[in-house]
A and B are shown apart, each in its own frame.
Chain A
Amino acid sequence: MDGLILGLDLCDAYTQLVCDAGEKSWIMPTVICKKKEEDVWLVGEPAYASALKGDGIIVDKLVKLVKKDGTSTIAGIKYDGMQLMVRFLVQVLRLAQEEYGTDKIKKLVITVPKVEIRLLECLRRCGEYLGADPEGIHIVSHTESFIYYVLSQKREVWTNQVGMFDLSQDGLCYYEMKMQRGMRQNTVLAEWERLEESFDLNILNSDKGARMADKILCSCGSRLIQKKLYSAIFLTGKGFGNLNWADNFMKLICSRRKVYMEDTLFASGAMYQGMDLLREKSAYPYTCICEGRLDSSVSMKVLSKGQESQLFLAKAGDVWYEAGADVEMILDHQDYLEFMITPLDSKKKKLMRMVLEGFPKRDDKTLKVLVQVGFLDERTMAVTVKDQGFGEFFPATEAKIRQEVML
């Protein structure tokens, strides 16, 4: 084997790992424990066991710890979120590495409920510690993994809309995906919402609690899926591990559509994406619009070969944290830049004008600027414009403008 392709679902409550090499998958609580007297770190169930025995100190909610840039003191030593996350991931990945007898990771796709910048930076740095090639690590959202999982199934599964309920200790979420067929390119749209009606899984341990949970799910199901044409509905998460408590809900969702159960849906979706990333030509030639990806294109009108043309700085479907561009431009008889923001519904496109206040007044065609476009999240674009000068004719000044724009 020349390396593993791994899909890792990382949540505060649990972590799942799947590998392309075999059927085996691992599910464990996202906890880490350090033994009191030795420099030994345990993760998952053994971590709980050690803490229960009293010979280890446990830390949970690792994702939250990283997001809030928190620290945890274990045996008098302060560890930041990233240090603990690295130790946790090393142990988790070792499970697959030992099982398949190789250390090499060809692709690691980590899927998280929501891609946030702090978590993203931490996971990328973790990747460096894990010895993985930076090109070999990708961080995606659950929504994106849901898309990849569904699209890797038979076509009939996703002919119409696809819905999914995810019930875990982290809450109850609903996902929905549909394919929009276009002339040039097909677009997959997926969105999710965290449902307010979420409940603690412990209530399923009593009859009364189970009945209430079934009622809650029925109410959500009626509200969310009725009057829509679904080809399939998926159920995932620990809460659906046993469906004896959800008779009414199952009756509701099983009528006129297929229902599938999948424990490791997000991790598997991430793994399928990892496999696809290694292909020369993608098996999923679609524009994906979902959490973690842009839903609008950003372009500028530029003059090229004497003709006006549209220069795309970012395209709908690009991963927001990788999207953007650095371009040098020369302004001719104008002191502003205009950005065209085009959502999928091109009727809703808007023009954003950025006046270059404080920039030097120069001869025509000598105001050269560097335009840097990046994104702070799916909805926020950050544009920086800097004066580049014009060689020795007009040395660069300190003039610079930064603007954040809601797409």
Chain B
Amino acid sequence: MSVILCRREQVTNPYYIEGLGVNIHSSQELCYAVYHHPLFFTDGFVDLSLTEFVRDQLGMGFVAARMEQRIKTGDKPDEILLMFMQECDYYTAAELGKLRQTLTAIRRLSPLEYAKKKADYLAEFKQYGKAIAGYQEILEAAAKNPDDQLEGKVWSNLGACYARIFQFVKAMESYDKAYAKSRDLKVIEKMYYLTRMSPSLELKDRHRSLVTGQLQEEWDKEFSRAEEKAEEGEALLEIEELFQKDSIRRLEESAVLVEEWKQEYRNMA
């Protein structure tokens, strides 16, 4: 238990982290992002634009100079990043030791495993467009060295990403390919839910034959539960609240909300 005193940092131009889709306004946020999402910081993150931010925005000129020196001498980017984080005084030596282990483990992943992990991460952060591109690259690469288990997982995740951005047809196609590779009934379940969400879609006969009456009943129940949960969701309650307001405020606030949704969708896709 402790209290950390924050440095005075006047960040006027935040540093944008594409993978996370967030702007960084302080050294603590940057450390937090690296610590919790190291996958986004292993590929060419340590460069001169970062040191420029460290120097000009965070006011850590001496640290930036040391980072630049180490970049020039070809030091490992992970070590440079850890050195920066040590200077920020946000994480303890023990915590940084743990991060070092995580980074080492990431470096040990095969290129395909690494690419999948990264795409999964992007999907987790609702960066579906980037995740889809990542999954497609993996599938292209996997075509040279077929691996049904990996490809099955990738097609399934790709299907989930398409579904999240309402491209249900593409989602269905992806799940179809996922099932072909993995033969996992879970994939059929997802396809069934797609047909419930988009009634124009249908399960192919070969898939329909796998859905027993008992399974269908269970999945229907599960779908209803999900629908009920969605109805109680915070976002829906907000909209209901909005419609309780007078017409002028309703109009103003709904315009703001729609703009937020559009922005969110643009970020996703």
Contact = CB atoms under 8 A, between A and B. Distances in A.
B93 A330 contact: no
Contact of A303 (B3, B8, B26): B3
A75 interface: no
| Chain B interface, DSSP helix/strand/loop, else mixed | mixed
B5 A327 contact: yes
B10 interface: no
Given A392-B23, A393-B32, A302 B3 contact: yes
Nearest to B95: A365
Contact of B2 (A303, A391, A392): A303
Contact of A332 (B4, B8, B29, B93): B4
B29 A390 contact: yes
Interface residues of A, number: 26
A334 B1 contact: yes
Q: Report the interface size class on chain B.
A: 20 to 34
A305 interface: yes
| Chain A interface, DSSP helix/strand/loop, else mixed | strand
B89 A390 contact: no
Interface of B: 1-6, 8, 22-26, 28-29, 32-33, 36, 89-93
A302 B5 contact: yes
26 contacts: A300-B3, A302-B2, A302-B4, A302-B5, A303-B4, A304-B89, A305-B89, A306-B92, A329-B5, A330-B6, A331-B3, A332-B2, A333-B2, A334-B1, A334-B2, A337-B3, A363-B36, A365-B91, A390-B28, A390-B29, A391-B22, A391-B24, A391-B29, A393-B22, A393-B29, A393-B32
Given A302-B3, A391-B26, A393-B29, 14 more contacts: A301-B2, A302-B5, A303-B3, A304-B89, A306-B89, A306-B92, A306-B93, A308-B2, A328-B6, A329-B6, A331-B3, A332-B4, A391-B25, A392-B22
A299 to B, nearest CB: 12
Contact of A390 (B1, B23, B32, B91): B32
Contacts of B1: 332-334
Contacts of A302: 2-5
Contacts of A366: 32
Nearest to A303: B2
Interface of A: 300-306, 308, 311, 327-334, 337, 363, 365-366, 368, 390-393
B180 to A, nearest CB: 39
Contacts of B90: 330, 365
A222 to B, nearest CB: 53
A363 B32 CA distance: 10
Contact of A365 (B5, B23, B28): B28
Contacts of A334: 1-3
A200 to B, nearest CB: 56
Nearest to B33: A393
A171 B3 CA distance: 50
Contacts of B4: 302-303, 329-332, 365
B89 to A, nearest CB: 6
Nearest to B31: A365
Contacts of A331: 3-4
A351 B54 CA distance: 38
Contacts of A333: 1-2
Given A304-B89, A366-B32, A393-B32, A327 B6 contact: yes
B32 A365 contact: yes
A336 to B, nearest CB: 9
B23 A391 contact: yes
Contacts of B33: 393
